[in-house]
Protein backbone atom coordinates (compact mmCIF):
# COMPACT_ATOMS: atom_id res chain seq x y z
CA UNK A 1 0.00 0.00 0.00
CA UNK A 2 1.42 3.36 -0.96
CA UNK A 3 2.17 5.71 1.93
CA UNK A 4 1.54 8.73 -0.28
CA UNK A 5 -2.12 9.16 -1.11
CA UNK A 6 -2.77 10.41 -4.55
CA UNK A 7 -6.15 11.80 -3.58
CA UNK A 8 -7.04 13.90 -0.57
CA UNK A 9 -10.52 13.66 1.00
CA UNK A 10 -11.12 17.40 0.78
CA UNK A 11 -9.38 18.29 -2.44
CA UNK A 12 -11.25 20.18 -5.18
CA UNK A 13 -12.45 18.52 -8.39
CA UNK A 14 -12.29 15.17 -6.68
CA UNK A 15 -14.90 13.55 -8.91
CA UNK A 16 -12.68 13.82 -12.00
CA UNK A 17 -9.80 12.25 -10.12
CA UNK A 18 -11.94 9.42 -8.76
CA UNK A 19 -13.20 8.56 -12.22
CA UNK A 20 -9.66 8.13 -13.45
CA UNK A 21 -8.70 5.78 -10.63
CA UNK A 22 -8.38 2.05 -11.11
CA UNK A 23 -10.04 -0.27 -8.59
CA UNK A 24 -6.62 -0.84 -7.03
CA UNK A 25 -5.99 2.86 -6.67
CA UNK A 26 -9.36 3.37 -5.04
CA UNK A 27 -8.69 0.47 -2.72
CA UNK A 28 -5.44 2.12 -1.64
CA UNK A 29 -7.23 5.24 -0.39
CA UNK A 30 -7.53 5.78 3.34
CA UNK A 31 -11.09 6.92 3.23
CA UNK A 32 -14.27 5.22 2.07
CA UNK A 33 -15.46 5.65 -1.50
CA UNK A 34 -18.95 4.65 -2.53
CA UNK A 35 -19.83 5.38 -6.15
CA UNK A 36 -23.36 4.92 -7.42
CA UNK A 37 -25.14 5.42 -10.72
CA UNK A 38 -28.23 7.41 -11.70
CA UNK A 39 -30.43 4.56 -10.41
CA UNK A 40 -28.60 4.72 -7.04
CA UNK A 41 -27.08 1.29 -7.72
CA UNK A 42 -23.64 0.91 -6.12
CA UNK A 43 -20.89 0.54 -8.75
CA UNK A 44 -17.80 1.31 -6.69
CA UNK A 45 -17.13 0.24 -3.11
CA UNK A 46 -13.52 0.54 -2.07
CA UNK A 47 -11.56 -1.59 0.35
CA UNK A 48 -11.47 1.00 3.12
CA UNK A 49 -15.24 1.26 3.19
CA UNK A 50 -15.62 -2.52 2.93
CA UNK A 51 -13.35 -3.03 5.92
CA UNK A 52 -15.10 -0.41 8.06
CA UNK A 53 -18.55 -1.75 7.23
CA UNK A 54 -17.63 -5.40 7.48
CA UNK A 55 -19.10 -6.06 4.05
CA UNK A 56 -17.17 -7.19 1.00
CA UNK A 57 -17.51 -5.28 -2.24
CA UNK A 58 -19.05 -8.36 -3.88
CA UNK A 59 -22.04 -8.16 -1.55
CA UNK A 60 -22.54 -4.47 -2.12
CA UNK A 61 -21.79 -3.68 -5.75
CA UNK A 62 -25.01 -3.98 -7.73
CA UNK A 63 -27.26 -3.28 -4.74
CA UNK A 64 -29.39 -0.19 -4.25
CA UNK A 65 -27.39 2.24 -2.11
CA UNK A 66 -30.05 3.93 -0.03
CA UNK A 67 -32.36 0.95 0.28
CA UNK A 68 -30.02 -1.92 1.06
CA UNK A 69 -26.44 -0.79 1.58
CA UNK A 70 -26.73 2.44 3.49
CA UNK A 71 -30.28 2.92 4.72
CA UNK A 72 -28.83 5.21 7.35
CA UNK A 73 -28.37 7.90 4.69
CA UNK A 74 -31.83 7.55 3.22
CA UNK A 75 -33.18 10.83 4.54
CA UNK A 76 -33.21 14.48 3.68
CA UNK A 77 -29.70 14.97 5.03
CA UNK A 78 -28.05 12.80 2.38
CA UNK A 79 -30.23 10.95 -0.15
CA UNK A 80 -32.52 13.91 -0.62
CA UNK A 81 -29.60 16.20 -1.47
CA UNK A 82 -28.51 13.94 -4.29
CA UNK A 83 -32.09 13.75 -5.51
CA UNK A 84 -32.56 17.50 -5.36
CA UNK A 85 -29.29 18.15 -7.18
CA UNK A 86 -30.19 15.65 -9.90
CA UNK A 87 -33.65 17.14 -10.30
CA UNK A 88 -32.25 20.65 -10.60
CA UNK A 89 -29.41 19.51 -12.89
CA UNK A 90 -26.90 21.02 -10.47
CA UNK A 91 -23.57 19.95 -9.05
CA UNK A 92 -23.35 18.87 -5.45
CA UNK A 93 -20.26 19.08 -3.31
CA UNK A 94 -20.99 19.21 0.40
CA UNK A 95 -19.40 17.96 3.58
CA UNK A 96 -21.25 17.09 6.75
CA UNK A 97 -20.75 15.26 10.03
CA UNK A 98 -22.75 12.08 10.23
CA UNK A 99 -23.02 8.83 12.12
CA UNK A 100 -22.66 5.48 10.43
CA UNK A 101 -23.63 2.22 12.04
CA UNK A 102 -20.57 0.28 11.05
CA UNK A 103 -20.99 -3.30 12.23
CA UNK A 104 -23.86 -1.88 14.32
CA UNK A 105 -21.59 0.44 16.30
CA UNK A 106 -22.40 4.13 16.12
CA UNK A 107 -19.39 5.56 14.33
CA UNK A 108 -18.76 9.25 13.76
CA UNK A 109 -17.87 10.01 10.18
CA UNK A 110 -17.32 13.01 7.95
CA UNK A 111 -19.21 12.68 4.69
CA UNK A 112 -18.50 14.37 1.41
CA UNK A 113 -21.33 14.21 -1.10
CA UNK A 114 -20.27 14.77 -4.68
CA UNK A 115 -22.27 14.80 -7.89
CA UNK A 116 -21.72 16.46 -11.25
CA UNK A 117 -24.42 16.54 -13.92
CA UNK A 118 -23.59 14.16 -16.72
CA UNK A 119 -21.02 12.13 -14.74
CA UNK A 120 -21.59 8.38 -14.76
CA UNK A 121 -21.22 8.05 -11.02
CA UNK A 122 -22.05 10.07 -7.95
CA UNK A 123 -20.02 9.60 -4.78
CA UNK A 124 -20.35 9.43 -1.04
CA UNK A 125 -16.88 9.75 0.51
CA UNK A 126 -16.49 8.65 4.11
CA UNK A 127 -13.80 9.85 6.47
CA UNK A 128 -13.42 8.81 10.09
CA UNK A 129 -14.10 11.49 12.63
CA UNK A 130 -12.67 11.44 16.13
Partner 1 sequence: MSDSGLELSQEYEALVQFLYIAPVGLVQADLHGGIAMINPLSAQLLMPLSRDGNLTNLFSVLEGVVPDLQHLVQNFDAAYGMVCDGIRVPLGTVVQARSQPAMLSLTVLKLDEERLMAVLTDITRQVAQERLLRQNEAWLNAIMMGVTDYALARLDAEGRIDEWNPSIGRITGFEPADVVGQPISILYPEGSTTPERVHDRLREADQSGWSLDEGWQRKADGSRFWGSAMIVPLRAPPIGPPELDGFLATLPPFSQPASKSYSLVIRDITDKREASEAQRRIVSCDHLTGIANRRTFFEAGELEFTRGLRHARKLSLLMVDLDHFKSVNDRYGHAAGDAVLREFAGLLASCFREVDVVARIGGEEFAVLMPSTDEDQALLGAERLRLLVESQQVDIGDASIPYSISTGVATVASDSSELHSLMKRADTALYAAKSAGRNRTAVWKPA
Applying CB under 8 A, the residues found at the interface with partner 1 are 53-56, 59, 67-77, 80, 97-101, 103-106, 108
8 or 84: CB nearest partner 1: 84
* Shortest distance in whole angstroms from residue 57 CB to partner 1: 12
1 or 104: CB nearest partner 1: 104
Q: Are 27 and 46 in contact (CB under 8 A)?
A: yes
In the three-class reduction of DSSP (H, G, I as helix; E, B as strand; rest coil), residue 16 is classed as helix
* Shortest distance in whole angstroms from residue 15 CB to partner 1: 25
Beta bridge partners of 105: 102
* Shortest distance in whole angstroms from residue 29 CB to partner 1: 22
* Shortest distance in whole angstroms from residue 24 CB to partner 1: 22
5 or 129: CB nearest partner 1: 129
CA gap 70, 130 in Å, rounded: 21
52 or 119: CB nearest partner 1: 52
Selection from 116, 115, 112, 114 nearest residue 126 by Cα: 112
4 or 58: CB nearest partner 1: 58
CA gap 50, 46 in Å, rounded: 6
* Shortest distance in whole angstroms from residue 2 CB to partner 1: 26
> How many angstroms separate the Cα of 14 from the Cα of each of 43, 72, 88, 106, 113?
17, 24, 21, 27, 11
Amino acid sequence: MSPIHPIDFSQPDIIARLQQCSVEELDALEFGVIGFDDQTIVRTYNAFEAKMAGLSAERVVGAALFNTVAQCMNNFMVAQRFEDAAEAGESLDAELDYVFTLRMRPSKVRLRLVAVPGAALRYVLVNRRL
